[in-house]
Chain A
Amino acid sequence: MEPLNNNKLSTAKLFILAGLLLLATGMLFGLTGALQYLVPDFIKQYLSFEKIRPLHVSSVVFWIIFAGIGSVITYLQQYSGKKIFSALLLKVQFGIFTVSVLAILVSYCLGIFGGREYWEFHPAFALPIAIGWILFIINFIKSLGSFKKLPLYVWMWLTGLFFFLFTFMESYLWMLPYFRNNVVNDMTVQWKSYGSMVGSWNMLIYGSSIFLMEKISGSKKYSHAPIAFVLYFTGLFNLMFNWGHHIYTLPTYPFVKHISYAVSMTELFILGRIIWQWKSSVSTARKHYHHTSYRFLMAADIWIFLTLILAIAMSIPAINVYTHGTHITVAHTMGATIGINSFLLLAIAFDILKDSCVPLAKSIKWVNRGYYTANLSLLIFWISLIIAGVLKAKWQMNDVKIPFGTMMLKLRPYFILFFVSGISLITGFYFILFPLIRNQVICQFKKLFLKKEAIEDNVSGVFAMD
């Protein structure tokens, strides 16, 4: 399995590296946005909040997508023992994605929008992203070869690949007047696509995480076990039908909400299994704790537990009425994207990028400091958002309402806590990201330098012969 994971900077690794850079940048935008909650006119004339928010959201969403692609391509090659079908196709995809993302970020800075929440960029940029994704699907299918006796992670990758394309295209149905003509129709279709889209990239990431877990443990049992497939189909069932919990308060079809409520409750099975497996998870953690990747997997496991409790509670319409539109929803999103997605992707990044010319062991102290700082900060960050959300929910339900601005001022102490823990969260993440990025950059410079030196040696050798 290992030979393809050498210290050569492949396109798959480039996807992960670009993702890490997007994460580092996206977090800075996020921190700037958090500061604008406290100092509303901070750099308002250059980057006001309607620019900062999409800069933050798109950067971190593309971190997840880039790193997800890099992980799938690397592990697919390790699974099949063969090289990717077309290295050129992958390079073309990387080029399309990189140019598109850079253009999107620049367009935000210039105040050019036109899309909707989470995909605020001009719809023209959606086309290259869809084309790039189709290239990814072609490369994946051609590289996979046989469809017989596929392990769970390949099922998950295939699901993620096709559902992302479907939901991404679905999220652009608003361009047709038939769908955008009424806000209720528009938002129903929007959240149908978004709800499933998150599930689709989770399939890519969770698939790669299962591959990594098997690699660390050395056992291939789990990815063929019946219970693993039961959990997969529960996840797929939720991906397809639980999106309605985003729009409980929208006057859309009641059956959309009832289906979503019922389907979401099947997640209790996943929660129950996490609790049931807790003891064995702890003993496995002790066994593999020295492994940097495993530590991140373990942190993600704890965040899955916390986020799932919140998600299940929010899926009950009578509770959702209180939490909807408050910072509790933000806490849920942060728990899922930072605590789960980012930690899983970092576990994968450490596995894939560990083979470089600079031993990672030299930086491990800083990585460990970053790990604990990030986790503790995220917990404070998460709690501050939940408290702010509870206070906003109380305000929403009050018969005599104080003005919105006054309510926001009352939340200020929690926004300060959110901002301060945000600084500490970024610091922790930078301790983790820095050695990963630096080592790869140093290696490339060394290679370039050595190559140049070798060429000069050869040239001087030729002259000497003359």
Chain B
Amino acid sequence: MAANRQKLFVLIFLLVAFLSYTAFLYSDLPVKYNSAKKNEDAGKLVWQKYNCNACHQVYGLGGYLGPDLTNVHSLRGQEYIKAFLKTGTGAMPKFYLSDEETHSLLSFLKDIDASGKADPKTFTLNYDGTIEQ
């Protein structure tokens, strides 16, 4: 009986900690909400509509067939991205995006680019195993 009470106590403690952590993160997200980002928001939905993540990564998360696109906007520029979207490549099909979709997607990629650097070389490694950006 005592053992069961102990288990229940540990479970409740963990659940309260988890829900508090979750509530804190939801209420105070790392970046503040910006209602002006309509184009970027539409671009994210275009990114999902064509399942770009199947081949491309953002911050190292996503597919492995194509390159990481976190900072492609500043590294290669809009015209370079547009050319790829229009012609496709060996593995990448032509997606026949409308002008509006292309514009939104470019805004989304620009917004990702502005959020930080994904290149692992830019990280500082500490002796305790942690990293700094």
Interface residues of A (CB under 8 A from B): 36-37, 40-41, 44-45, 48-51, 53-54, 113-117, 120, 148-149, 155, 173, 177-189, 191-192, 226, 229, 233, 236-237, 240-241, 246-253, 256-258, 261, 316-322, 324-327, 330, 396-397, 399, 404
Contacts and interface: CB of A to CB of B under 8 A. Distances in A.
26 contacts: A40-B91, A48-B91, A48-B92, A49-B55, A50-B93, A53-B51, A113-B50, A114-B49, A117-B61, A148-B4, A149-B4, A181-B41, A184-B115, A187-B59, A188-B30, A189-B26, A192-B25, A233-B11, A236-B11, A241-B18, A251-B116, A253-B25, A316-B129, A320-B131, A325-B60, A396-B120
Interface string B1-28: 0011001001100100110011001100
B123 interface: yes
A182 B120 contact: no
B55 to A, nearest CB: 6
A125 to B, nearest CB: 14
In this complex, the member of A113, A179, A189 whose beta carbon has the largest number of chain B beta carbons within 10 angstroms is: A113
A96 B19 CA distance: 30
Contacts of A181: 31, 33-35, 37, 41
A330 B61 CA distance: 11
Contacts of B54: 49-50, 53-54, 117, 120
B52 interface: yes
A327 B50 CA distance: 23
B87 interface: no
A318 B131 contact: yes
Given A183-B115, A324-B60, A241 B21 contact: yes
In this complex, the member of A50, A173, A184, A253 whose beta carbon has the largest number of chain B beta carbons within 10 angstroms is: A50
A249 B29 contact: no
Contacts of A40: 89-91
Contacts of A326: 64
B67 interface: yes
A221 to B, nearest CB: 14
A237 B7 CA distance: 13
B18 to A, nearest CB: 4
B102 interface: no
Given A183-B115, A248-B131, A324-B120, A54 B51 contact: yes
Contacts of A318: 125-126, 129-131
Nearest to A403: B67
Contacts, number: 176
B111 A183 contact: yes
A113 B48 contact: yes
Nearest to B15: A240
Interface string B58-69: 111111111110
Contacts of B52: 50
Given A180-B44, A240-B18, A257-B130, A44 B61 contact: no
Contacts of B31: 181-182, 184-185
A236 B13 CA distance: 12
A41 B112 CA distance: 29
Given A183-B112, A317-B131, 14 more contacts: A41-B91, A48-B91, A49-B54, A49-B65, A50-B50, A53-B51, A117-B53, A120-B51, A179-B29, A184-B116, A189-B25, A318-B130, A320-B131, A321-B131
A324 B44 CA distance: 23
B74 interface: no
Given A182-B29, A324-B120, A396-B120, A49 B125 contact: no
In this complex, the member of A44, A113, A114, A249 whose beta carbon has the largest number of chain B beta carbons within 10 angstroms is: A249
A240 B60 CA distance: 23
A191 to B, nearest CB: 7
